[in-house]
Amino acid sequence: MKVLCRNMEQDRERTMISSSPFVISFLLLVSVPLLFVFAPRVLPPKTLPSIPDRDEMDDLALFRRATLASAGGSGGRGGGLRRRAAAPPKIAFMFLTNSDLSFAPLWERFFRGHERLVNVYVHADPSARLLLPPTPSFLGRFIPAKATQRASPTLISAARRLLAAALLDDPANAFFALLSQHCVPLHSFRFTYHAVLADSDVPPATNGDGVVRRRHRSFIEILSGEPGLWDRYVARGDAVMLPEVSFDQFRVGSQFFILARRHAVMVVRDRRLWKKFKMPCLKSKEDSCYPEEHYFPTLLEMQDPEGCTHYTLTRVNWTDSIGGHPHTYRPPEISGDLIKELRRSNSTYSYLFARKFSPDCLEPLLELVDSTIFRD
């Protein structure tokens, strides 16, 4: 009997050993789908955060309204400064901020007496704690905003929201200047206004009615062949930008610009390039991720290169930049000579704005308003 039991146990062990490969294979087969389900929740993502779907849907609805509202008006390809009413062309000053508008009192002095030629729009990050009460020109001029952060396409989205809001708000908005809370004017409003409107080097256009219309250029920096450009091109992945944007078409330029109205419409209407630029960068390429410096120059260079100056009117000092941030001017540096130096360019034009200034520069700048800044 003992022999029989021993034989039965040995048979059972042999059966378990022989069936174990099948059990292991079965368990592996079942675990593969589970791995795809749970791995993204456990393993760290390979890319930086992307734009939330809800934000993207809200933006598409806004951009569609702005595009439709501008259809057949001054937003057409050959459009110039045509307006529905006999109003003079206006400049939309669009402030992109994540902190207090510390230089609002300086901008109030800049706008004073020219209110009929100005519209102000502000996109303030919802997480920003704005402690200073808005001054008259900024009161009620905040548009619905979404969260923004560096190394992400959210800064592009914010600029496009500002453009769409300005297009919808006033058909007399002919130019759209993107600024930050750290920007200050270098000239009087009168000088700035005439400098922007006087430029019309683009060949005039007609819409088939025999009427010749002046086409104004956009002041936007567009550069190619810059050091590190390839690293920025592949920041989302080696071939992610293809086929819409080849490396030869990829451009870089300052985040801050002044767009003519037809180009503002072009930006909010775009879907083709946006589907590439909205993709998040790889975490391993975070140091090369500056989509806001590439989307606008690339889009306009591909669609209307002759309609752009290829230079910006906002002066920035990169001589001692830290972590991708330019030099920040402090009160001891503020002087009439600095303002005159910041105005100078390597060409025939003069810079109209400058950044980056610390908030405590307000008082020394206000002291220079009459003696230097507004003396052109």
Residue keyed to tokens 């914010």: 158
Residue keyed to tokens 């508008």: 101
- HEC states along the chain? CHHHHHHHHHHHHHHHHHHHHHHHHHHHHHHHHHHHHHHHHHCCCCECCCCCHHHHHHHHHHHHHHHHHHCCCCCCCCCCCCCCCCCCCEEEEEEEECCCCCCHHHHHHHHCCCHHHEEEEEEECCCCCCCCCCCCCCCCCECCCCCCCCCCCHHHHHHHHHHHHHHHHCCCEEEEEEEECCCEECCCHHHHHHHHHHCCCEEEECCCCCCCEEECCEEEECECCCCCHHHHHCCCCCCCCCCCCCHHHCCECCCCCEEEHHHHHHHHHCCCCHHHHCCCCEHHHHHHCCHHHCHHHHHHHHHCHHHEEECCCEEECCCCCECCECCCECHHHCCHHHHHHHHCCCCCCCCCEEECECHHHHHHHHCCHHHHHCCC
pTM of the model: 0.85
- Reported as a pLDDT band with limits 50, 70 and 90, residue 173 is very high
Give residue-wise pLDDT tens across range 61-99. 999 999 999 985 544 443 444 445 568 999 999 999 999
Q: Is the pLDDT of residue 318 over 80?
A: yes
Least reliable range by pLDDT among 179-193, 309-323, 324-338 = 309-323
Give residue-wise pLDDT tens across range 220-251. 999 999 999 999 999 999 999 999 999 999 99
With 0-12 / 13-18 / 19 or more C-beta atoms within 10 angstroms meaning exposed / middle / buried, residue 298 is: buried
Residue 347: per-residue pLDDT: 80
